[in-house]
Structure 1
Amino acid sequence: MKYAKPYLSVEDQAALLLTRGMIGVGRDELIEYLRAVSYYRLSGYWFPYKQPDDNFRPGTTFQQVWRTYVFDRRLRLLVLDPIERMEVALRSRIIDRMTCAAGPFAHCDPGNFAPTMIGATRNPKFKSIHDEFMAQLEDSAKRSNELFVKHFRAKYISETDLPFWMAGETMTFGMVLTCFRHLKTPMQKEIAWDFGIPAAVLSSWLLTINYVRNLCAHHCRFWNRDLAVKPMIPNHRSLPGWHKPGTIPNKRAFAVLTLLKHLLKHTAPNSRWQLRLRELLDEFNDQPIGQMGFIKDWEQCPIWADV
């Protein structure tokens, strides 16, 4: 089918919404909102209020839609805090373990990683995952404005590579993820248990965190989204708290919030993040948190009860 919908100006978009039954807002005010936040960005927030014929359910107000948008925006900002803490903590542990085991340039030798690091990469420009990783690391170090990088380059002119405790600090989260997933198994397990979980679970969570980080950084709807990258739920034996008072589903935001709460216990045990989340939920207590995957009596879950 060929796309044939015509362009609609902001004024036309406002008129269309009002024609479809949006109430509680005047045309001029609605135009100003649509100039601040685009029609298609907001459409994800009014979609639950639409009927099969594209008209809004009777009584749907723009304030309801806007309130959900503001809630989601503040939730995304809140989520970025523990993600940042986790990224910094994981990077620190990888750098420490690798350099302690194999010296300042441990990252340069693929033999210091699991055999998977010399496996093929999707990028035909590189022979292996390690080759691509090193190219990315070199590029990130060149673009870095960190004083420690500039100082090293000026003092050690003959060195082509930075020691890992410097180079590692320039890694993107995607590179940190690549590095962890290709560590030798004993080191991977050791780091994972620093965060209180098996290596397979941490590897899965990191993929989800990377996905959610990108969602939040690009201001995408998060609160009721079906996760494209779902985190592994730990089994009863390793982490029974994930199954009390009921098993936490891994499809929606609540699973992400719960894994971040778990990780904060190991990265920032004195953080008030849980209290800030509770305050946000209380302020927006009209939002249907069931659509976020919250389970019944969720605060009785041992992970959340441990303030």
Structure 2
Amino acid sequence: MTSQKQSYNKSFLDIDAQITLLKSRGMLFHDENMAKKSLLNLNYYRLSGYWSPFQNQDDTFKDDTYFEEIINIYEFDSKLKLLLFGVIEKIEISARTKFAYYLSRKYDPHPLIESNFLDKDKFDKTYKKFRSELSRNNKPIFIEHYESKYNEELPPIWVCVEVMTFGILSQFTKNIKDIQLKRTIAKCYNLDISVYEPNLYHLSILRNDIAHHSRIYNKTFKITPKIPNKLKSISNQNAIGYIYNTIVLIDYLLKQIDNKSEFMNEINTLILSHHIDKSKMGYPRK
């Protein structure tokens, strides 16, 4: 039995009314003019996700909750997302390259055919998504060049991966029929297949969340990382859905790609510069 829906009855509030409402709930301000500018640029509803941890059950704010601290957390979250987006790109490009290299070495330059994949229905679904990506109006020049010159339906795999989304890459990877081939790819990162595959998917979801400007700080993710045993001692199994465990995973993957990676130092510097409560990111409490 479904619950009965009701009409939405909240009315529009101008910026001054938004400030008044926040004040009535106990929010404090150092500079109301700057707060008004922030609300006009960032959206009251968007910021509410950042101040909700500072609220009591009746929506009033806890003592000494300043609007400026909410903006500090928001700015930290924005910088964190930029940093994560950049490093996920490195992992994505590396994973694309391994996928293209090992499939073309095993088969031929055009390995995206049903017989090379385990589940026909899943392959067909993923393949259709990929063909849709290739059929977009704003095709890269190198795709247009290929289609004008060659007969094959698809470009060689090393070209295909350049327009393959991370999500599609993860779906194709999971569906590879040849177990030894999958092991070879996963071994490039010193991981087992059972760890590599779900983490590709996890990172593809996180990348999309970031691309759509979703909040990362103080958020639990439904699609969680699968932490390899070798990282269990530094992960936090009591906060598996928070970003900290993903940070641990990303740091590990980056070091498999480039052992000079400074990612973890960059994360720590960012946290310190904004005086952030790391426990809200799933960091272990010391």
TM over 0.5: yes
Amino acid at match of 1:4: N
Q: Indicate yes or no: 2:276 matched with 1:283.
A: no
Q: Which residue number corresponds to residue 53 of structure 1? A: 58
Alignment of 1:1-307 (within 5 A): 2=6, 3-107=8-112, 109-113=113-117, 115-116=118-119, 118=120, 128-143=121-136, 145-156=139-150, 158-184=151-177, 185-235=179-229, 239=230, 241-244=231-234, 249-285=239-275, 287-296=276-285
Residues 112-137 of structure 1, C-alpha deviation per residue, up to 9 Å, x if partnerless?
A: 12x22x0xxxxxxxxx2222222222
Segment drifting more, 16-25 vs 58-67: 16-25
Change (3 A) 1:205 1:159: closer
What percentage of residue pairs aligned between the two structures are identical? 27
Amino acid at match of 2:115: G
Residues 139-178 of structure 1, C-alpha deviation per residue, up to 9 Å, x if partnerless?
A: 222336333322222222x333222221222111111011
Q: Is the 8 A contact 1:95 1:164 kept in 2?
A: yes
Between the aligned partners of 2:160 and 2:102, the Cα distance in structure 1 is 15
Q: CA deviation at 1:244?
A: 4.7
Residues 15-59 of structure 1, C-alpha deviation per residue, up to 9 Å, x if partnerless?
A: 211222211244443221111101111001111111222111222
Q: CA deviation at 1:13?
A: 1.4
Q: CA RMSD in A?
A: 1.9
Amino acid at match of 1:291: K
TM-score by length of structure 2 reads 0.90
TM-score by length of structure 1 reads 0.84
Residues 214-254 of structure 1, C-alpha deviation per residue, up to 9 Å, x if partnerless?
A: 2211111111101111112223xxx2x42259757422110
Q: Is the 8 A contact 1:85 1:268 kept in 2?
A: no
Q: CA deviation at 1:71?
A: 0.9
Q: CA deviation at 1:296?
A: 4.3
Gaps of 5+ in 1: 119-127, 298-307
Aligned length: 279
Gaps of 5+ in 2: none
Secondary structure of residue in 2 paired with 1:225: coil
Secondary structure of residue in 1 paired with 2:186: helix
Secondary structure of residue in 1 paired with 2:227: coil
Amino acid at match of 1:111: S
